Amino acid sequence: MRFVSWNVNGLRACLQKEFLTSFAALDADCFCLQETKLQAGQLELDLPGYHQYWNYAEKKGYSGTAIFTKNEPLSVTYGVGVPELDTEGRLITLEFESFYLVTCYTPNAQDGLKRIDHRMAWDDAFRAYLAALDAQKPVIACGDLNVAHQEIDLKNPGPNRGNAGFSDEERGKFAELLAAGFTDTFRHLHPDTTGAYSWWSYRFNARKNNAGWRIDYFLVSNRMADAVTDAVIHSDIFGSDHCPVSITCKEDTL
């Protein structure tokens, strides 16, 4: 099975940049989106063969997530179950027979870390939520988690130390998440690969120069890490300031 995750930075804009061509080429069993920037009823997307699930932010033109899946889930849940954290459409969970699939758009701590308290609350709630799911069945969690975990995960770690996405606080929470029983699939399969990024600023020709950050992830429960046969960052696909990321899992393990 192939799973794809993509922060599209506004789906309506991405549709004007060959989103549907990329969607077809990736041919995912489950395709997860973050930062759709939509409200209910603003877009009718024709995706034959896929069930569609959307979570919208209360604020217009902001945040939002979606999952498109070939197989209908047993159940669908929206949010992490904390009311004050669930107004921005940041999380969807699909339950399948042998696993949970979660897509997440983690809040940005913002310039000067002015939203770091909210971010820390989210990280704690997200970790507890995934751990509770993991106690029931294995979890595949993906999305824009808005943190570069290690220095290898961004082009310029030195000047960015302490900035949003590379603060000690955010990196520490990500380490806690992994310690709670989850595997970073790309690093598991490519421990020493450098220059592998999933987001580039629109400024300073960052993408042309590959001055990027790896902040889009697929995490899986440790006990299913060996079921992941491939983890890819699709840096050749454009349409957003992020590129898609994907994993392939053995069919007989799901």
Catalytic sites, residue numbers: 105, 144, 242
Number of H helices, E strands in the chain: 6, 14
Q: Is 7 annotated as a binding residue?
A: yes
Q: Among 224, 245, 234, which Cα is nearest to 103's?
A: 245
Q: Is the Cβ–Cβ distance between 88 and 107 less than 8 Å?
A: yes
Find how far residue 254's CA is from the centre of its chain.
20
Q: Among 220, 208, 213, which Cα is nearest to 180's?
A: 220
Q: Is 170 annotated as a binding residue?
A: no
Q: Is 35 annotated as a binding residue?
A: yes
Q: Is 188 annotated as a binding residue?
A: no
Q: Is 209 annotated as a binding residue?
A: no
Question: What torsion do the CA atoms of 195, 198, 201, 204 make, to the nearest 10 degrees?
Answer: 30
* Alpha-helix runs per DSSP H in 163-236: 168-179, 185-189
- Both tokens of 164, joined, read 């949003």
* Cβ count near 74 (within 10 Å): 10
Q: Is 146 annotated as a binding residue?
A: yes
Going by their DSSP bridges, the two strands 91-95 and 100-105 should be labelled as: antiparallel
H/E run at residue 125: helix 116-134
Find how far residue 244's CA is from the centre of its chain.
9
> 48 in helix, strand or coil?
coil
Q: What are phi and psi of 124, to 5 degrees?
A: -65, -45
Q: List, as residue ranges, the binding site for Mg(2+).
A: 7, 35, 144, 146, 241-242
